[in-house]
Amino acid sequence: MSPRGAFYTVLHLAILANPVATYAQGVDELRVVEADPAEWLTYGRDYAETHYSPLNQIDENNVNRLGIAWTWDIPVTGARLEAVPVVVDGVMYATGPHSFVFALDARTGERLWHWDPAIPDESEGGPSICCGDVNRGVAVWGDKVYVGILDGRLVALNRETGMIEWTVQTTPPGTDYSITGAPRVVAGNIIIGNSGAEYGVRGYITAYDAETGEQAWRWYTVPGNPADGFENEAMRRAAETWTGEWWIVGGGGTVWDGMAYDPNLDLLYIGTGNGAPWNRDERSPGGGDNLFLSSIVALRGETGEYVWHYQTTPGDDWDYTAVQPLMLLDLVMDGRQRAVIVQAPKNGFFYVIDRITGEFLSGQAYADNVNWASEIDQETGRPNETPEARYGMTGRGVYLSPGPTGAHNWRPMSWNPATGYVYLPAQNNTFYYERAAVDYQPGQWNTGTGRGSAATRPERPELEGPNTMLLAWDPVTNSEMWRVPGEGGNGGTLSTGGNLVFRGTGRLLTAHNAETGEEVWRAQVGIGTASPVTYEIDGSQYLTIMAGSGGANPPRVWTFTLDGETLN
Ligand code: CA
């Protein structure tokens, strides 16, 4: 299906559904499908979540003329920045630490409004936050800005004023759920997941009416206590893959990051998280795949009904979430046009899945040192696990790669249709896993793993390859085309029609020739880079990234343009 075909199909549906839809009414489905390159309307810029912009004013020949257009200091510190700014009608909407939301004039950086939910710290009665006081950004739809915040609320703000339009508590108050992910908008509903599997929660995703906040549907990712009855057939089926009393710790499977949507198929794709606790022998004694942990799941966008799933890590034992960014691509594979979904989840393998049927097409290691599985069986799509990987079953602790931070985490990958490459911010790491009994304590990590002691742990293995790296990955052959080592922790990536890929790395924003990987520009922006975006106003292309955390490394929005102020 061509993008043009997709556009007209949705145009038709949009006219039927809403005969008076116009741009003046705000962001709507037509506008998101059309995805004017001058804007960055959604988290991934388009429903397919490609993080690709066709803008080409800045290209590999003139990128060295980039200078600062403006900067804005985020007045809240204390956690890393992870948001992808959204740029609509000349306004940039983004988030900082502690669920702080702000709107800036995208041309000047002038603050238009901000909203600080002033959520207290955990020590002062605030929500318990399992895994970082971060936020990945907002969704804009109609005349509102939507944000999921740490205490589990989904909040709709007026786009012009930042005033609260409605609020809904999406998680049971006082529990171990939190929200860090960016909402998405599907079929007029705001889609939001949550976090907390390290503490022990049951994952789910919910859709709320964009206008009213009324709940449209909810889909749990793992079954609850069978004695309470199953919410749907998918949960009944999933329960057959679990044993013991998994519901006590919750099971896990939180949906805290990656999503994508295909409006032609009306399929919403979500990635699900790790098991709670991590250790399967504590969670589901005797084994089992434990559906739908660590899976890519396709749901009907309108209703949230289960359609298909592909489980990247059956019977997860290692915190190998499949919540990492999801991307929809149309590829020619073996001479055949395929509508696929791709993902590089924590477990170190890059997957290409038919997004209509869920059929496994290929899976290959993208990180160095992967040793929990030797390969993905290309017929069955299941990993061939190495015998030592199941530390609970062997009773022996083991260093495995990747570790719980994953070979790829929240950082957006990007696509360039001209090169045919996915640009993936990957990392190499290892972690010692050892079985420990779970004595479930709310508000604490309940992973069922221990660190052992220096006397009993084997020697930490030497790792090959750089700690962090930018990979150019060909999803058709499922292989690496080039790599550039990182210069510190990864940020996200952006691809553009200027034959460029931008990435955050360490304290830098760097630009690379998209075909060769050659670095063609760099700027110091501060340690802890979020993810870059680009947009155009009055004929000038801009490039924005947020970076920094506090002190001498202030959290700041950096915006660049050709012939801007000279860099230090
Ligand atoms: Ca986790």
Strand partners, 67: 561
Q: Are strands 490-496 and 52-53 parallel, antiparallel or unpaired?
A: parallel
Select from 553, 556, 558, 465 the least CA-distant residue to 509.
558
CA of 537 to the centre of ligand 1 (A): 40
Yes or no: say if 42 and 28 are a contact pair by the CB < 8 Å rule: no
CA of 403 to the centre of ligand 1 (A): 11
The pLDDT of residue 439 is: 87
The pLDDT of residue 16 is: 42
Distance separating alpha carbons of residues 307 and 443, to the nearest angstrom? 34
Question: DSSP of 423-469, one letter per residue?
Answer: EEEEE---EEEEE------TTS---SEE---TTTSPPPPPPPS-SEE
CA of 321 to the centre of ligand 1 (A): 6
- Looking at 74-136, which runs of residues are DSSP E strands? 86-88, 91-95, 101-105, 111-115
Buried residues in 349-369 as b, exposed as e (16+ CB within 10 A): bbbbbbbbebebbbbbbbbbb
Per-residue pLDDT in tens (0 to 9) along the chain, 568 residues? 333 334 434 444 444 444 333 334 699 999 999 999 999 999 999 999 999 999 999 999 999 999 999 999 999 998 999 999 999 999 999 999 999 999 999 999 999 999 999 998 888 888 888 888 999 999 999 999 999 999 999 999 999 999 999 999 999 988 999 999 999 999 999 999 999 999 999 999 999 999 999 999 999 999 999 999 999 999 999 999 999 999 999 999 999 999 999 999 999 999 999 999 999 999 999 999 999 999 999 999 999 999 999 999 999 999 999 999 999 999 999 999 999 999 999 999 999 999 999 999 999 999 999 999 999 999 999 999 999 999 999 999 999 999 999 999 999 999 999 999 999 999 999 999 999 998 888 888 999 999 888 888 999 999 999 999 999 999 999 999 999 999 999 999 999 999 999 999 999 999 999 999 999 999 999 999 999 999 999 999 999 999 999 899 999 999 999 999 987 6
CA of 254 to the centre of ligand 1 (A): 8
Select from 560, 558, 421 the least CA-distant residue to 501.
421
Select from 524, 483, 533, 482 the least CA-distant residue to 506.
524
CA of 166 to the centre of ligand 1 (A): 30
CA of 451 to the centre of ligand 1 (A): 17
Buried residues in 67-95 as b, exposed as e (16+ CB within 10 A): ebbbebebebbebbbbbbbbbbeebbbbb
The pLDDT of residue 20 is: 35
Yes or no: say if 540 and 57 are a contact pair by the CB < 8 Å rule: yes
Sheet arrangement for strand 144-148: 139-141, 144-148, 153-158, 164-169
Distance separating alpha carbons of residues 424 and 349, to the nearest angstrom? 12
Torsion 339-344-345-348 (CA) sign? positive
Based on C-alpha coordinates, what's the Rg of the chain?
Answer: 22
- Please give the backbone phi and psi of residue 321, each rounded to the nearest 5 degrees, phi first: -65, 155
Q: In sequence order, which residues have a C-beta less than 8 Å from that of residue 241 and are 6 or more positions away?
A: 288, 289, 290, 291
CA of 315 to the centre of ligand 1 (A): 14
Place of tokens 């205490």: 151
Yes or no: say if 221 and 212 are a contact pair by the CB < 8 Å rule: no
The region that residue 479 occupies, defined by phi over 0 for left and psi between -120 and 50 for alpha, beta otherwise, is beta
- Please give the backbone phi and psi of residue 388, each rounded to the nearest 5 degrees, phi first: -85, -10
Yes or no: say if 136 and 182 are a contact pair by the CB < 8 Å rule: yes
CA of 201 to the centre of ligand 1 (A): 11
CA of 447 to the centre of ligand 1 (A): 9
CA of 98 to the centre of ligand 1 (A): 20
CA of 197 to the centre of ligand 1 (A): 6
CA of 405 to the centre of ligand 1 (A): 8
The pLDDT of residue 287 is: 96
CA of 195 to the centre of ligand 1 (A): 8
**pLDDT tens digit sequence for 201-216:** 999 999 999 999 999 9
**pLDDT tens digit sequence for 530-555:** 999 999 999 999 999 999 998 999 99
* pTM across the whole model: 0.95
In 256-324, where does DSSP find H-type helix?
A: 280-283
Yes or no: say if 282 and 437 are a contact pair by the CB < 8 Å rule: yes
Give the residue numbers marked as catalytic.
Answer: 319
Question: Could you tell me the residue ranges of all domains in the chain?
Answer: 3-39+78-484
With 0-12 CB in 10 A as exposed, 13-18 as middle and 19+ as buried, what is 198?
buried
CATH code at 3-39+78-484: 2.140.10.10
CA of 273 to the centre of ligand 1 (A): 6
Strand partners, 388: none
Q: Are strands 508-513 and 500-505 parallel, antiparallel or unpaired?
A: antiparallel
Structure tokens at 336: 């055949």
